Amino acid sequence: MNSLAIICIVLSYLLGAVPFGLLLSRRSGIDIRTEGSKNIGATNVTRLLGKKMGALTLVLDVAKGYVPMFLTAMLFQNAPHRDLIIALCGAASVLGHMFPVYLRFKGGKGVATALGAFLCLAPVAVFGCVLVFVASVFLSGFVSLGSLLGSLSILLWLPLLHAPAWKLGLAAFIVAMIWTKHRENIGRLLKGTEKSWKRKVEAET
């Protein structure tokens, strides 16, 4: 692996580490690390600042996962170990969001950034992941459960699409990290104390 590949991996991490949710919330006079779920991701931004700001955060966080992999794929079209370099850039961007150097390695749960990485891996599979996410949230009322099941479903869709082993390996690593970052949510789901999106909507209507 040459120095250019290493630079791309480092830049992927640094881009992934940019806390767009926090930056946007600060413009509105709120530090989302101390409000709501205290998470810097799009879900907490939506809760605190509304759908428009939440959607903008989502798009930017997805881009953090997609852009590094896409640009790396273009840059290393005929390079040896191309697949490995792309995979490492994807993993680095997701890890950057989860453990951002700018915030003393205390970041988000990586779902949106992982979605961007998955979008670069297999767009059709992402459609299936989104369907699982939407169905899970609609039926259960828990965004966390939708995120867990939606991300896990990528490991079903990729083999069905005959994706190469490196894509499946990258996806498995990212899913494992997402589930690890959601361990507190998993605990609350098992105890029945997780916050329900449905109950929030019902309380406001």
Indicate if the pLDDT at residue 202 is higher than 50: no
Predicted pLDDT at 200: 54
Indicate if the pLDDT at residue 47 is higher than 90: no
Convert the pLDDT of each residue in 10-31 to its tens digit.
999 999 999 999 999 998 888 8
Convert the pLDDT of each residue in 107-128 to its tens digit.
999 999 999 999 999 999 999 9
Going from N- to C-terminal start, the domains of the chain cover 3-204
Query: What is the average pLDDT score of the chain?
Result: 92
Residue 116 dihedral angles phi and psi, to the nearest 5°: -65, -40
CB-based contacts of 1, cutoff 8 Å, min separation 6: 81, 84, 85
Predicted pLDDT at 21: 92
Q: What is the pTM assigned to this prediction?
A: 0.90
Residue 17 dihedral angles phi and psi, to the nearest 5°: -80, -10
